[in-house]
């Protein structure tokens, strides 16, 4: 691991502006030509349009390629991404090559004669693959030293092996035998070696599997070991654990790797192991679709969110199972919706290359292991093109699935994921999805600087409201911020899940720098938002802030409305798309609208409602807060703004009586 740490830490010496969002001419935005609203009434997209989307991305990458010798190397985005020194450039080029190949390979499988920017695409990739083993080339990758640990080279060789495995006729068979042998030697030096205890094992697995398929002698004992260890990451309901995190990537990466490996290799060579991966893959269709909004939008959540569309790849891969009980029309609706979410966004591309960020470039969401070419990991979505044209995934009529058949207005729907302790919530009134999941990482231990950050430490993540980064002045969104011993605002990040019971999600939180500052937390999703009932168990007075979701400024000024209802102070902000309201029911001293710059992924200017308190004693306090939302233009009913009739506490048991007759009881001491 030391080599890996060195590689990644070298990249961290560069820092830049927190927010560097860029806009491009709208003409550069992906256009859906001749949409088919008969088979796809929601998005208009068919497999033909997926090919167009893949070409759109690949043409941008090939705008940097004018001859076969040009590397897939792109303008560096200002900030902490690598390369930060010349030694990292070969790996940067390797990333660009192997990751754009995720997009190119499925297109080449259908059309081996594909030409882009006057370059024969198949010739280009075969030529560049040859450069990897040419000692005089600037793209040359050395053998892994005998004592060498896992590195980014292993990641990219695993990616290359996946493309070779799924399209050997175009990418492998035409290569001279001497090149094949040298590639095997180089790639196996990494694949037949150490790895990281995470999804990284699949990089070794794909290298070993491909070369076994091609008749080379490989370490089959290690291959089986890594396969069996990968299966042990499974936690049920489609979710794998990525040691230690759960996020989009821990779902789609594990599931995609397992499915592709089984389909193109495992069923033939290791059918029992392939059967386990297939069984785990089958589980995801009952809950993973609910993690996406009604419009097919993904949530900004977890690391590597710059991979964006990669999150949809399990949906088209369901086509390989040809399950008559699968709602393929909904799966394609979600998938095409996510493609549109990003490729049609004006901030998505800069210099004809996707930005590192969510929509535009957004430094708080960037990891130090990423270079500009890393974004093409999102191209794994187009591995879905490997699913045959006549498959039901491509021909089932688009529909909104549960949003139309199960969900009712003015209701809220929770799906608890069992052993993974993930809660997925769907809100029909605004068509949004939400997730609550693991976070328990100390900054001092987080050498990669992402598991302790806003990527994971928010109280919840919502498809309608991308997370806002914390500000130095205490600006916080969907989390608590506490004044610590150094008089700095510190967000909660050490959460311990307790239980999900009676539609209440219980956690405990402890401040990293002061274990005597601790809270019991309870999230209660409502039809139009969240009721928080949290208990402060700190043994000292503390200054605390709690933030709602944040709203970006979208053209016009964000409108602020303050009102009173039934004695409660209410603040509402409206950006023309959504309204957010915060109602302080107990414990809080004040609430205010906090305006911020450079903290939001959708706009340089944003606003968030924060409530705050300075506790005056060491006594426990209950903080009850309504965090509500509506679409802009809709009127608030009084019972929506204040749905709670009474809130009482007796012997540490808190009872909430709602106006609609529903009553809930919270007991933080009960197991």
Average pLDDT over residues 608-628: 87
d(CA 5, CA 404): 48
Residue-wise DSSP of 345-399: -TTSEETTEE-SBSSSBBGGG--TT--GGGGGGGGGGGGGGGS-TTSHHHHSPP-
Name the phi and psi angles at 554, rounded to 5.
Answer: -115, 75
Share of the chain above pLDDT 70, in %: 95
Structure tokens at 623: 């903080």
Tokens 């806002």, residue located: 468
What is the rounded average pLDDT of the residues 7-36?
54
Q: Assess whether pLDDT exceeds 80 at residue 617.
A: no
Task: Tell me the backbone φ, ψ of residue 514, rounded to 5 degrees.
Answer: -155, 100
Q: What is the pLDDT of residue 446?
A: 81
- 18-27, 289-298, 307-316, 394-403: lowest mean pLDDT where? 18-27
In the chain, pLDDT over 90 holds for what percent of residues?
Answer: 91
Burial code (b: 16+ CB inside 10 Å, e: under 16) for 480-517 equals bbbbbeeeebbbbbbbebbebeebbbbbbbbbbebeeb
Q: Give strand ranges (E) for 527-604.
A: 529-536, 543-552, 559-565, 568-574, 578-586, 590-597
- In the chain, which segments carry CATH 2.70.98? 407-667
Helices and strands counted in the chain (H then E): 17, 24
Cis amide bond preceding 83, omega within 30:
yes
Confidence band for 14, pLDDT divided at 50, 70 and 90: very low
Label residues 353-371 b or e (16+ Cβ within 10 Å = b): bbbbbbbbbbbbbbbbbbb
- pLDDT digit string, tens, across residues 241-273: 999 999 999 999 999 999 999 999 999 999 999
> 127-140: per-residue pLDDT in tens?
999 999 999 999 99
The predicted pLDDT at position 581 comes to: 98
SS3 assignment for 1-14: CHHHHHHHHHHHHC
Alpha-carbon distance of 325 to 328, in angstroms, equals: 9
CA 156 to CA 139: how far, in whole Å?
13
pLDDT tens per residue across span 321-363: 999 999 999 999 999 999 999 999 999 999 999 999 999 999 9
d(CA 170, CA 222): 29
Per-residue pLDDT for 24 more than 50?
no
Maximum Cα–Cα distance across the chain: 81
What pLDDT score does 505 carry?
Answer: 98
Q: Is the pLDDT of residue 565 over 70?
A: yes
Instruction: Establish how many alpha carbons lie within 13 A of residue 249's alpha carbon, considering only the half-sphere containing its beta carbon.
Output: 21
**DSSP string for residues in 22-73:** ----GGGS----S--TTT-TTT---HHHHHHHHHHHHHHHHTT-SSTT--S-
Residues 411 and 409: their CA atoms lie apart, in Å, by 5
Token pair recorded at residue 135:
């000692």
Q: What H or E segment, with its residue span, contains residue 507? A: strand 504-511
In 3-state terms, what secondary structure has residue 667?
strand
219 — phi, psi (to 5°)?
-80, 85
Q: Is 579 exposed, middle or buried (0-12, 13-18, 19+ CB in 10 A)?
A: buried
Question: What is the pLDDT at residue 620?
Answer: 61
Q: What is the mean pLDDT of the chain?
A: 94
What is the arithmetic mean of pLDDT over 7-34?
Answer: 51
| pLDDT category of residue 42 using cuts at 50, 70 and 90 | very high
What's the CA gap between 305 and 588, in Å, rounded? Answer: 34
* CATH, domain 35-405, list 1.10.287, 1.50.10, 2.170.120, 1.10.150: 1.50.10
Is the per-residue pLDDT at 389 higher than 90? yes
Are 518 and 509 contacting, i.e. CB atoms less than 8 angstroms apart? yes
- pLDDT at site 411: 98
Averaged pLDDT for residues 161-172: 98
Give the separation between CA 300 and CA 460, rounded to whole angstroms: 11
Query: In the prediction, which pLDDT does 277 show?
Result: 98
Tokens of 342: 């990003």
Q: Which segments of the chain belong to CATH 1.50.10?
A: 35-405
Please state, in angstroms and rounded to a whole number, the distance separating the CA atoms of residues 92 and 480. 38
Q: What is the pLDDT of residues 479-501, one digit of tens each?
A: 999 999 999 999 999 999 999 99
Instruction: Report the alpha-carbon distance of residue 391 to residue 639 in Å, rounded.
Output: 48
The 653-658 sheet, strands edge to edge: 644-650, 653-658, 663-667
CB atoms near residue 399 (< 10 Å)? 19
Confidence of residue 304 (pLDDT cuts 50, 70, 90): confident
List the one residue out of 116, 124, 120, 122 whose CA is nearest residue 71: 124
Give the separation between CA 175 and CA 308, rounded to whole angstroms: 33
| pLDDT value of residue 619 | 58
Is the pLDDT confidence value at 8 over 90? no
Q: Give the domain 407-667 fold.
A: Beta-galactosidase; Chain A, domain 5 (2.70.98)
Q: What is the pLDDT of residue 28?
A: 83
SS3 89: helix
pLDDT at 16 over 80: no
Query: Stretch 578-598: mean pLDDT, rounded?
Result: 96
Q: Return the pLDDT at 445.
A: 87
pLDDT level of residue 18 (50, 70, 90 thresholds): very low
Give the pLDDT confidence score for residue 13 in this predicted structure: 30
Report the pLDDT value the prediction gives residue 11, as an integer from 0 to 100: 36
Mean pLDDT of 395-424: 98
Query: pLDDT-based confidence at 637, cuts 50/70/90?
Result: very high
Distance in angstroms (rounded) separating the CA atoms of residues 85 and 11:
8
Residue 372 predicted with pLDDT over 80: yes
Contact 161, 187 (CB under 8 A): yes
Range name among 209-213, 434-438, 564-568, 601-605 with the lowest pLDDT average: 564-568
237: Cβ contacts below 8 Å, ≥ 6 apart = 283, 284, 286, 287, 417, 418, 419, 420
With vertex at residue 218, the alpha carbon angle to CA 217 and CA 219, rounded to the nearest 5 degrees, is: 135
Beta strand 413-416 with 653-658 is unpaired
């Amino acid at each position: 691991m030391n080599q890996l740490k060195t590689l990644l830490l070298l990249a961290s010496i560069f820092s830049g502006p927190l927010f560097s969002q860029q806009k491009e001419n709208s003409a550069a935005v992906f256009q859906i030509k001749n949409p088919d609203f008969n088979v796809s009434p929601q998005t208009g997209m068919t497999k033909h349009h997926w090919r167009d989307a893949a070409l759109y991305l690949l043409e941008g990458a090939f705008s940097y390629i004018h001859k076969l010798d040009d590397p897939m190397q792109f303008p560096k985005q200002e900030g902490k991404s690598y390369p930060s020194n010349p030694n990292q450039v070969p790996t940067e080029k390797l990333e660009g090559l192997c990751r754009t190949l995720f997009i190119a390979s499925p297109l080449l499988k259908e059309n081996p004669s594909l030409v882009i920017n006057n370059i024969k695409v198949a010739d280009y990739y075969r030529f560049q693959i040859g450069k990897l083993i040419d000692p005089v080339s600037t793209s040359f990758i050395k053998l892994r030293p005998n004592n060498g640990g896992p590195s980014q080279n292993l990641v990219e060789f695993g990616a290359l092996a996946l493309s070779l495995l799924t399209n050997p006729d175009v990418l492998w068979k035409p290569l001279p035998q001497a090149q094949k042998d040298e590639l095997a030697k180089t790639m196996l030096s990494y694949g037949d070696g150490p790895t990281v205890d995470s999804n990284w094992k699949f990089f070794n697995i794909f290298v070993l599997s491909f070369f076994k398929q091609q008749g080379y002698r490989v370490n089959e004992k290690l291959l089986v070991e890594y396969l069996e260890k990968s299966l042990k990451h499974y936690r049920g309901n489609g979710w794998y654990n990525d040691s230690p995190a759960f996020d989009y990537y821990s779902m789609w990466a594990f599931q995609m790797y397992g499915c592709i490996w089984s389909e193109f290799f495992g069923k033939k060579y290791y059918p029992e192991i392939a059967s386990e991966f297939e069984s785990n893959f089958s589980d995801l269709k009952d809950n993973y679709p609910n993690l996406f909004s009604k419009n097919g939008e993904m949530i900004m959540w977890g690391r590597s969110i710059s991979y964006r569309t990669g999150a949809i790849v399990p949906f088209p891969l369901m086509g390989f199972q040809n399950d008559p009980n699968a709602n393929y029309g909904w799966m394609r609706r979600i998938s095409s919706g996510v493609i549109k979410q990003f490729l049609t966004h004006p901030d998505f591309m800069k210099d004809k290359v996707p930005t590192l960020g969510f929509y535009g470039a957004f430094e708080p969401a960037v990891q130090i292991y990423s270079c500009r070419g890393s974004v093409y990991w999102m191209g794994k979505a187009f591995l879905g093109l490997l699913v045959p044209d006549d498959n039901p995934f491509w021909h089932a009529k688009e529909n909104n699935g549960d949003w139309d058949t199960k969900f009712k207005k003015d209701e809220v729907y929770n799906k608890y994921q069992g052993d993974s302790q993930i809660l997925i919530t769907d809100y029909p009134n605004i068509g949004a999805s939400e997730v609550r999941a693991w976070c328990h990482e100390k900054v001092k231990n987080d050498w990669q600087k992402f598991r302790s950050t806003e990527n994971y430490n928010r109280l919840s993540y919502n498809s309608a409201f991308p997370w806002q980064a914390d500000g130095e002045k205490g600006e916080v969104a969907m989390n608590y911020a506490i004044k610590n011993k150094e008089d700095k605002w510190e967000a909660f990040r050490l959460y311990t899940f307790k239980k999900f019971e009676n539609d209440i999600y219980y956690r405990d939180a402890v401040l990293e720098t002061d274990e005597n500052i601790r809270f019991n937390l309870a999230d209660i999703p409502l039809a139009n938002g969240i009721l928080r009932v949290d208990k402060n168990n700190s043994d000292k007075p503390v200054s605390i802030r709690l933030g709602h979701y944040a709203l970006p400024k979208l053209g016009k000024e964000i409108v602020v409305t303050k009102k009173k209802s039934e004695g409660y102070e209410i603040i509402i902000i409206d950006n023309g798309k959504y309204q957010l309201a915060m109602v302080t029911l107990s414990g809080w001293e004040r609430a205010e609208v906090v305006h911020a710059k450079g903290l939001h992924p959708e706009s340089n200017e944003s606003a968030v409602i924060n409530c705050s308190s300075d506790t005056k004693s060491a006594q426990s306090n209950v903080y009850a807060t309504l965090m509500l939302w509506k679409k802009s233009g809709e009127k608030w009913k009084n019972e929506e703004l204040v749905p709670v009739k009474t809130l009482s506490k007796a012997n540490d048991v808190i009872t909430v009586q709602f106006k609609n007759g529903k009553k809930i009881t919270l007991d933080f001491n009960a197991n």
